[in-house]
Amino acid sequence: MTGVYDLSGKRVYVAGHRGMVGSALVRRLASEACTVLTPTRADVDLRRQADVERWMAAEKPQAVFLAAAKVGGIAANDRYPADFLYDNLMIEANLIQAAQTVGVEKLLFLGSSCIYPRLAPQPLQEDCLLTGPLEPTNEWYAIAKIAGVKLCQAYRRQHGADFISAMPTNLYGPGDNYDLQGSHVLPALLRKIHEAKRDGAGAVTLWGTGTPLREFLHVDDLADACVFLMKTYSSDGPINVGSGQELSIRALAETIADVLAWSGDLTFDTAKPDGTPRKLLDTTRLHDLGWDAKIGLRTGIAEAYGWFVENHPDA
Ligand code: GFB
């Protein structure tokens, strides 16, 4: 089922506006005729129910993009399972309940492609949710995100709330985390190859075997898809947001090396985990609604690199 939701004149809350996804949403919403609400953590700590209830009752947003989350790469997921589970559960539960209470007209919850079973058939269709065991390196995060999807479905069913969920594939772009212990692979490799070039190093070490396959989507494409879905999608099931740009981790490193004009060797630390072997989203549903990604991987990498250099003068 689809409907049309008009953002014009609406008070639109972007939860998580300082993160990579939230800041892309704020950039994208600048071209909509709406008022964007972006409270800071000092105004409202999303992990605290009383804070969220108070702020939502006072500000009464009409639409909410729920992009606030504790996120990180494979090592951060492994190191902070309690934070990934607790913070994300609290943020989702507090915001979704408060949104229903204050009469939010539409809410879009952002999940993750890691909610799908580790060995589900590829490309991953929305219907494979909860059909098999999760990838152990990120099951804490995945369980929290599955709970968010289920909250949206439950509030639709019980309260008739127009709450929807979008499942993005691996994201990158301006505002990404470049801390090598906590980051995802694309910013990590940008940084490592940048530093190797700067230092004249002949080799860069990747984690794992380099064989896992990943799909990458530029965060500005994601933000555009989210605004599109907010306007046009109104259904119970989650909807995938991907680019179809899939490659191995080794091929990703080679592409980044090429974009940065660095020609050293790649070595592999196989004591580090590979994570899930493949994670490609089936985006037929979104495509059939009329949306496709626009930013090519090489263009996106070059743009992300420009942001990194500008914002990390130390590197
Ligand atoms: O992006 P990433 O950290 O997370 O790692 P996931 C993807 C792949 O890149 C893994 C390899 O096979 C890593 O071993 N890799 C190689 C590296 N070198 C590096 C490096 O220097 N840093 C990092 N980080 N990886 C995440 C989940 O899974 O995907 C999250 O943990 C979330 O919960 C996110 O779902 C989208 O793609 O494996």
Give the confidence band of 314 by pLDDT, cuts at 50, 70, 90: confident
Instruction: Determine whether the shortest distance from the Cβ of 73 to ligand 1 is under 6 A.
Output: yes
Quick one: tokens of 210?
């380099």
Q: What is the pLDDT of residue 81?
A: 98
For residue 8, pLDDT over 80 is answered with yes
For 118-145, write each residue's pLDDT tens digit: 999 999 999 999 999 999 999 999 999 9
For 60-70, write each residue's pLDDT tens digit: 999 999 999 99
Q: What is the pLDDT of residue 3?
A: 64
Active-site residue among 5, 13, 116, 141? 141
Q: What is the pLDDT of residue 250?
A: 98
169 CA: nearest ligand 1 atom: 36
For 137-190, write each residue's pLDDT tens digit: 999 999 999 999 999 999 999 999 999 999 999 999 999 999 999 999 999 999
Is the whole-model pTM more than 0.95? yes
For residue 24, pLDDT over 50 is answered with yes
**Average pLDDT of the segment spanning 256-261:** 98
The CA distance from 30 to 136, in Å, is: 39
Instruction: Determine whether the shortest distance from the Cβ of 146 to ligand 1 is under 6 A.
Output: no
CA distances from 314 to 178, 199, 278, 307 (A): 12, 13, 34, 13
Using the mean position of ligand 1's atoms as its centre, give its distance from the Cα of residue 2 in Å.
Answer: 34
Query: What is the percent of the chain where pLDDT is above 90?
Result: 98
Instruction: Determine whether the shortest distance from the Cβ of 188 to ligand 1 is under 6 A.
Output: yes
The torsion region of residue 126 among left (phi > 0), alpha (psi -120 to 50) and beta comes to: alpha
183 in helix, strand or coil? coil
Whether residue 233 lies in the annotated active site:
no
For residue 1, pLDDT over 60 is answered with no
Using the mean position of ligand 1's atoms as its centre, give its distance from the Cα of residue 183 in Å.
Answer: 8
For residue 2, pLDDT over 90 is answered with no
Substitution candidate for ligand 1 out of 70, 74, 245 with most atoms within 8 A of CB: 74
Instruction: Determine whether the shortest distance from the Cβ of 207 to ligand 1 is under 6 A.
Output: yes
**Average pLDDT of the segment spanning 98-120:** 98
The CA distance from 240 to 124, in Å, is: 9
Using the mean position of ligand 1's atoms as its centre, give its distance from the Cα of residue 158 in Å.
Answer: 37
Q: Which residue's alpha carbon is nearest to atom 25 within ligand 1? A: 185
Instruction: Determine whether the shortest distance from the Cβ of 275 to ligand 1 is under 6 A.
Output: yes
